[in-house]
Amino acid sequence: MAQATKANDKNKPDATAGAVGFRLREAALILALALAAYLLLSLLTYEPTDPGWSTTGTDDLIANRGGIVGAWLADALLYGFGFPAYLAPFMVGFSGWLLFSWGKRADGDDALHFWVLKSVGLVMALAAASGLSSLSLMDYADLLPLGAGGVLGEVVGHGFESVFGASGTSLLLLALLLTGVTLFTG
């Protein structure tokens, strides 16, 4: 009888492993939300006179509420992506939520396939949003280190415009943006 009970115990899933996995996903969610909040704080308090990726700064005091790291992060994100950089905190927070909720999935989707699809959607949405910003928000370009769409927007927006024209580029980038958002958010 004792051997039968021992054999049945081996077939049961380990409750401890499930609890550890849940706690790790929960910790990842908390860290992602903290990082998202820090990025949002840093971006909202961006000051062009702070030292950063694209400038040495002109003030002795750092105005960015995220400190020197926040000033650098904000400057680098705004330099690279322009106005769509303000979506980064929400993307980080949503990615944390995806990671947390992944353990609840019961449909057996392949994890690699899931994350590749989400990553492709994220890159597609970010590139399209930067391109659209670069072409459509030129009046506000002086507020950021390298224009409304950043480096990515300049490359994507003007690269597409030289091939597809202004209207064709806007239509194509809007379609890519919506497709990217759909892939990223599921």
Q: Report pLDDT digits (tens) over 33-54.
A: 999 999 999 999 998 888 887 7
User: What pLDDT sits at residue 3?
Assistant: 58
Identify each DSSP E strand in 73-168 by its residue range: none
Is the predicted pLDDT of residue 5 greater than 60, yes or no? Answer: no
In this structure, is residue 173 part of a structural domain? yes
Q: Is-contact 160 134, C-beta < 8 A?
A: no
pLDDT in tens, 113-144: 778 888 999 999 999 999 999 998 877 777 77
Q: Which amino acid is at 95?
A: S
Report if residue 94 sits inside a domain. Answer: yes
In a domain, 172, yes or no: yes
Work out how many domains the chain is built from and give that number. Answer: 1
This prediction's pTM: 0.80
**Would residue 115 count as lying in a domain?**
yes
